[in-house]
Structure 1
Amino acid sequence: MTVAPAVWRFDAIGVPWRVETPAPVPGADRARVGRLIEDFDRSWSRFRDDSIVAALARGAGSAPAPADAVMLLDTLSAAAEATADAVTPLAGDALGALGYDADLTLHPIGVHPALPWREVLSWTEREITLTRPATIDIGALGKGRLVDLVFQSLHHLAGPLVVDASGDLRSRGAAERVGLEHPYDPERVIGVWEIEDAALCASATNRRAWGDGLHHVIDGRTGEPVRTIVATWAVADDAMIADAVATALFFDGGPRFAHDRGVAWVRMTTDGRAEYSPGCAARLFTA
């Protein structure tokens, strides 16, 4: 007889989370996960006044680097290089100009191309430095990194483990069958991808969307929302890399960025076509 897993649900960084384990997650582990999420948010959130990101946005200078700053910003810079800076670590002000600001006003004030980040932003293991005020945004891979941190925090628990943060998912010990949601109809899927001991991350322009054609996936070079790709999915060993690839796939350099990291992927264009990497294991439904 198959025993249903224990499911722990909670909200964090603005989205619902689901953790599945054979037995309920102990209270001490839940408390540790809560502290981990709070520390990550206090470091990287551009939606709270007391974060390191917010402090740097208020004035140029340096701030202590969080423990994972080099990992995150090195990966973001690689994605920027692959996409000719369409992906950028300084997307925050461009998103804010479109209304996706710290106060979530959702009232656009114009188009604001991102600053040339190589001239403005630098980092070491000890500090992050800005030569002028700007808003760092790690949305291209931040949720995936937090999934990895929560997953690692619970890795000592026996048996299968699934950590799912509303589109960014990592599993161990059991197959997880994931429907690839149709971006134009949330009641449909364009295919199914089964993963085990891996991470799957998805991104779509119908998520975190507001106004006419406004959404959270922007081209940092122009400050405008992307128009050609509407949804992406990527499978990698860890969620941070899968998340970074899912973002890069909205741009021309994304497939090469994925190939160089051995990441399988699917993406859907605005005219309804599906593209996918060679050897991709997703089962796509075709007409």
Structure 2
Amino acid sequence: MGGFAPASWRFDAIGTTWEVVTERPLPASAHGEVGAVIDAFDRVWSRFRADSVVSALARDGGSVSAPPDASAMLEALAALSDATGGAVNPLVGASLEALGYDAEYSLRDRSPMAAPADWRDRLGWQSGVLTLTEPATIDVGALGKGRLVDRVMEVIARTEHGDITVDAGGDLAVRGRPQRIGLEHPFDPRRAIGVWEVTDAALCASAVNRRSWTSATGATLHHVLDARTGNPVRKIAATWAVARDALTADAVATALFFDGGPRLAHEWGVEWVRMTTDGQAEWSPGCSAHLFGQTDGGARTGPGPRTHSLER
């Protein structure tokens, strides 16, 4: 990276391992500012901590001053909801808790519970105020980590003007020299289905093998739910998206689990790859990812997604 031995800073936050790679070691002041940004974000949006704003609204409803990230994230979640016919819903938190993905990580599932279809009537974020007309659990997991990656990148870029990579458990942003990223096979983390070279952009991924558990009846459950039913998705196993920023990439990676996701990606100018549970790979026209087993490097043109079979 730029003729220097790169410096790597690793730490744990929001339930995952982060790695920040820069040309030179970051000063302590940058470490402190990154920590403050992550803690402030977590104190607002985490449904896993009792002292967060989200937890307070889940208990009592009401109104609070809108946090700095509210408009960007909730507007994007509204677009995801529209694109997926309501499969993505910012009030899906109680549905996740019903399946055992709760603040205690009990992993003890109860009956699936659909998220409220009238969420727009219950949740508001206009005029600098975040409001819930009645108690409900906001969950920004569809794109929240991407937003936080962008926030951390902003902090690092004020200090380091060379090559930067911010990686939060596989959701990452790259500035400067291109980085080749492996696309982890969702059924075997020791393997990759391909590689993607990322330059001055973000790559975010989601997969059903992450945050998964077994129900009392022996069924495999995971964190990617169809909010209309409260049940985990079963058709798509993993998604990857590359966009100008991590919030957008994370949002599209979530949308790709549902019909409407590819259309939204096209409208937002986002390249993508996804893998179905029966081992088919699909990717956007013109996608620059290289999927193993292809004969032309992965680039595609044409009106719709392309597919080929992968070894499951």
User: Is contact 1:69-1:125 (8 Å) kept?
Assistant: no
Paired residue type of 1:191: G
**Amino acid of the residue matched to residue 183 of structure 1?**
P
Q: Corresponding residue for 2:277?
A: 270
Report matched runs for 1:1-287 at 5 Å.
3-116=4-117, 117-156=119-158, 157-211=160-214, 212-286=219-293
Quote how far apart the aligned CAs of 1:235 are.
Answer: 0.1
SS state at 1:267 partner? strand
User: How big is the shift at 1:104?
Assistant: 1.0
Structure 2 unmatched runs, 5+:
294-309
Q: Are the counterparts in 1 of residues 4 and 24 from structure 2 also a CA contact under 8 Å?
A: no
Shift of 1:213: 1.7
Question: Residue type of the partner of 2:137?
Answer: T
CA-to-aligned-CA distance 1:163-215 (integer Å, 9 cap, x gap):
00012100001111110000011111100000010000000000011113210
- For residues 67-122 of structure 1, give each alpha carbon's deviation from its aligned partner in whole angstroms, at most 9, with x where no partner exists: 12111100000000000010110110000000001111111112010012122111
Corresponding letter in the other structure for 1:247: T
Q: Is the 8 A contact 2:173 2:202 kept in 1?
A: yes
What amino acid sits opposite 2:130 in the alignment? Answer: I
Structure 1, gaps ≥5 residues long: none
Aligned mates of 1:3, 1:73 — CA distance in 2: 40
Decide whether the 8 Å contact of 1:203 with 1:233 is kept in 2: yes
Q: 1:125 to 1:196 in 2, by over 3 A?
A: farther
With structure 2 as the length reference, what TM-score do the two structures score?
A: 0.90
- Whether the 8 Å contact between 1:183 and 1:206 is mirrored in structure 2 is yes
Amino acid at match of 1:263: V
| Structure 2 counterpart of 1:121, one-letter code | L
**Aligned-residue RMSD, C-alpha:** 1.1
Structure 1 stretches of at least 4 aligned residues deviating more than 6 Å after TM superposition: none
SS at match of 2:88: coil
Q: Which AA in structure 2 matches 1:246?
A: A
Quick check: 1:67–1:125 contact (8 Å CA) kept in 2? Answer: no
SS of 1:274 mapped into structure 2? strand
1:70 and 1:125 in contact (8 A); partners too: no
Cα distance in 1 for partners of 2:34, 2:99 equals 33
In 1, the alpha carbon distance for the partners of 2:74 and 2:103 equals: 21
Question: In structure 2, what is the Cα distance between the partners aligned to 1:226 and 1:63?
Answer: 33
Structure 1 residue 158: deviation in Å?
2.4
